[in-house]
C-alpha cells in the first residue's frame, strides 16, 4: 500500500456504514483473490451473482486472482449512490461490479471480464467443489455416513424457514405479585458446569429473583430448594463427563439421602417448575424427571426411561439449528406451539435413547416430546446436520405429564437476545427487541404468578 491513510479512511467509512445499517454483507479480498472473495460470499448467502469487471489491458487471471487489498460489499440497491459517495469523498476508490441474483443452490454465478464470460455455473455445484476437500478431511474425524449426509444435503439446502405463531414483542399479561418479592429461581450448577451466566441473565430479564446455587451448597446444607419456585439445571460438562454426561451429577443426587429427598420433594410440589438444558437435560433424564420408565406416578422415585448417548456423528456438535415447537402440556412453552425457531446446540451426547418402544410411544402419543429438530421445510428430521445427534423423530426435548418440568438439549438461554442469532429474518431484526426464546422464560414467570406458592 502506497498510502496507509487510504486504509484508515476505508476503515472509518466502513464502520460508519455499518452503524447506519447500509451494508448487507462484506468480505475482504485476501488469499485466492477477488474470485475467491466473490464465491465465498455467494456460498455463504446461498445466492447467485452477476459480476462484470471492466479493466482494459488486464487479463482475467491477473484480475481475478490478484491478492491485493480490497473489500467487496453487498449493498441494497437504493443505498448504492450513498455508499459510493462516502468512499469517494474519503479518497477511496469504489466501483459497482454487479448484483446478486436468485436464492438457493440453483442460482447462477456469472463473472465477465472485459466483455468475456469467464464463469457461468450454479452456486450449488461450485460450493460442492469448494467444500470437497473439507469433507474428505471430515471423513477422517467423524462418522463418514453423517459426513456424506451433510455433503449431499448441502447441494440442495435452501436455508432455514422460521415461523412464529405468537408476537414476541407482546409481553404476557401478568397478575399482580403476591407478597413482598419476586418468584425465586435457583440456577443449579455442578463442577464443570457452564452457561449459568446466560441462564441467570435470561431469568433476570423475565423478572425472577435469581440465585446461584451449587451442588456443594445443597450437599452441605448451606441452602435448600424449599424456598424456590423454579430450578434451572445448566449446561456444561459436570465432572468433565468422565463417567458419561451428567452421570456424576446424577450420582451426587441419587446417593445422598438428604439431597435426594430435597429433589424429590421439589419435583412433587405443585407450585414448582424446572428447566434442564444440555447437561441439565441429561441430568433430568437420568433422574427420571422426564421420560420415566412407566406411565403412572406411583409416588415412588421415578425410574429412568431415557438415556442421552453419544451423537451419531461421533463428535461434539456446536451448531445453530432449526427447532419446531409442538403442542404439549409444558407450561414453559405455552402459546409457542407451531413456531419454528433457530437455536444453538453444543453437546457431544445428545442422542435420545429410550429404554423400550413403549416409552417412546407413550411420550409421542401424549405430546410429551414438544421440541423437534426440523429440516428447511419445517419437517421433523433425523438427517445430519439438521439433526445434530441423530435422535429418533428429531426429538430435542421432553416434558413431564404435568407440564411443569422441561428438559431440552438446545440452549434457548444462549439466544435470548436478537444479536445472539447468527441469522434471522430481516423483518424480525427490525421489529424485535428480544428474541422469541424470551417467551419461554416469561412463561415460567407468568406461571409462578398465576400459581402462588403454597407457603403464601
Q: Is 411 a catalytic residue?
A: yes
Q: Residue 3 burial by CB count (10 A; 0-12/13-18/19+): exposed, middle or buried?
A: exposed
Could you say which of 278, 281, 399, 448 is catalytic? 278
In degrees rounded to 5, what are phi and psi of residue 391? Answer: -55, 135
Evaluate whether 413 touches 201 at the Cβ level (below 8 Å).
Answer: yes
- Catalytic residue status for 163: no
Catalytic residue among 146, 317, 411, 448: 411
* Cβ(214)–Cβ(247) below 8 Å: no
**Closest of 450, 240, 190 to residue 348, by C-alpha:** 240
Tell how far CA 64 is from the center of its chain.
36
Residue 79 neighbours by CB under 8 Å, 6+ apart: 22
- The closest of 115, 76, 116 to 99, measured between CA atoms, is 76
Q: Distance between CA 244 and CA 425 in Å, rounded?
A: 38
Q: Is 175 exposed, middle or buried (0-12, 13-18, 19+ CB in 10 A)?
A: exposed
| Given 198, 317, 349, 413, the catalytic residue | 413
Q: Which residues are catalytic?
A: 278, 411, 413
Amino acid at each position: 500500500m502506497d498510502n496507509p491513510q487510504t486504509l484508515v479512511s476505508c476503515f472509518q467509512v466502513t464502520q460508519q456504514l455499518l452503524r447506519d445499517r447500509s451494508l448487507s454483507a462484506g468480505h475482504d479480498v485476501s488469499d485466492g483473490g477477488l474470485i475467491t472473495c466473490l464465491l465465498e460470499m455467494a456460498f455463504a448467502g446461498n445466492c447467485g451473482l452477476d459480476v462484470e469487471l471492466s479493466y482494459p489491458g488486464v487479463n482475467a487471471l491477473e484480475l481475478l486472482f490478484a491478492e491485493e487489498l480490497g473489500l467487496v460489499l453487498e449493498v441494497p440497491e437504493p443505498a448504492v449512490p450513498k455508499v459510493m459517495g462516502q468512499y469517494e469523498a474519503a479518497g477511496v476508490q469504489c466501483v459497482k461490479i454487479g448484483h446478486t441474483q436468485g436464492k438457493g443452490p440453483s442460482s447462477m454465478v456469472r463473472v465477465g471480464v472485459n466483455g468475456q464470460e469467464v464463469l457461468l455455473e450454479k452456486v450449488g455445484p461450485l460450493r460442492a467443489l469448494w467444500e470437497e476437500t473439507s469433507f474428505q478431511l471430515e471423513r477422517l474425524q467423524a462418522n463418514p455416513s453423517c459426513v456424506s449426509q451433510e455433503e449431499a444435503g448441502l447441494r440442495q439446502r435452501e436455508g432455514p424457514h422460521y415461523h412464529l405463531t405468537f408476537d414476541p414483542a407482546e409481553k404476557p399479561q401478568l397478575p399482580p405479585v403476591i407478597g413482598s418479592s419476586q418468584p425465586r429461581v435457583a440456577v443449579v450448577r455442578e463442577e464443570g458446569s457452564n452457561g449459568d451466566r446466560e441462564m441467570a441473565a435470561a431469568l433476570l430479564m423475565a423478572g425472577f429473583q435469581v440465585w446461584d446455587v451449587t451442588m456443594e451448597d445443597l450437599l452441605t446444607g448451606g441452602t435448600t430448594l424449599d424456598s424456590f419456585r423454579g430450578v434451572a439445571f445448566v449446561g456444561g460438562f459436570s465432572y468433565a463427563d468422565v463417567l458419561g454426561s451428567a452421570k456424576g451429577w446424577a450420582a451426587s443426587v441419587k446417593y445422598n439421602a438428604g439431597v435426594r429427598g430435597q429433589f424429590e420433594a421439589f419435583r412433587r410440589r405443585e407450585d414448582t417448575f424446572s428447566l434442564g438444558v444440555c447437561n441439565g437435560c441429561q441430568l433430568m433424564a437420568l433422574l427420571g424427571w422426564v421420560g420415566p420408565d412407566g406411565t403412572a406416578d406411583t409416588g415412588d422415585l421415578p425410574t429412568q426411561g431415557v438415556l442421552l448417548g453419544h451423537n451419531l456423528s461421533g463428535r461434539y456438535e456446536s451448531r445453530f439449528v432449526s427447532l419446531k415447537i409442538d403442542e404439549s402440556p409444558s407450561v414453559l412453552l405455552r402459546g409457542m406451539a407451531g413456531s419454528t425457531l433457530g437455536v444453538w446446540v453444543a453437546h457431544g451426547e445428545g442422542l435420545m435413547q429410550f429404554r423400550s418402544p413403549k416409552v417412546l410411544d407413550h411420550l409421542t402419543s401424549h405430546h410429551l416430546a414438544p421440541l423437534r429438530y426440523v429440516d428447511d421445510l419445517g419437517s421433523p428430521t433425523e438427517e445430519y446436520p439438521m439433526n445434530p445427534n441423530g435422535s429418533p423423530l428429531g426429538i430435542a426435548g421432553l416434558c413431564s405429564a404435568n407440564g411443569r418440568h422441561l428438559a431440552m438439549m438446545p440452549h434457548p438461554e444462549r439466544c435470548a437476545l436478537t444479536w445472539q442469532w447468527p441469522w434471522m429474518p430481516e423483518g424480525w431484526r427490525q421489529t424485535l427487541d428480544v428474541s422469541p426464546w424470551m417467551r419461554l422464560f416469561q412463561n415460567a414467570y407468568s406461571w409462578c404468578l398465576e400459581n402462588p406458592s403454597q407457603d403464601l
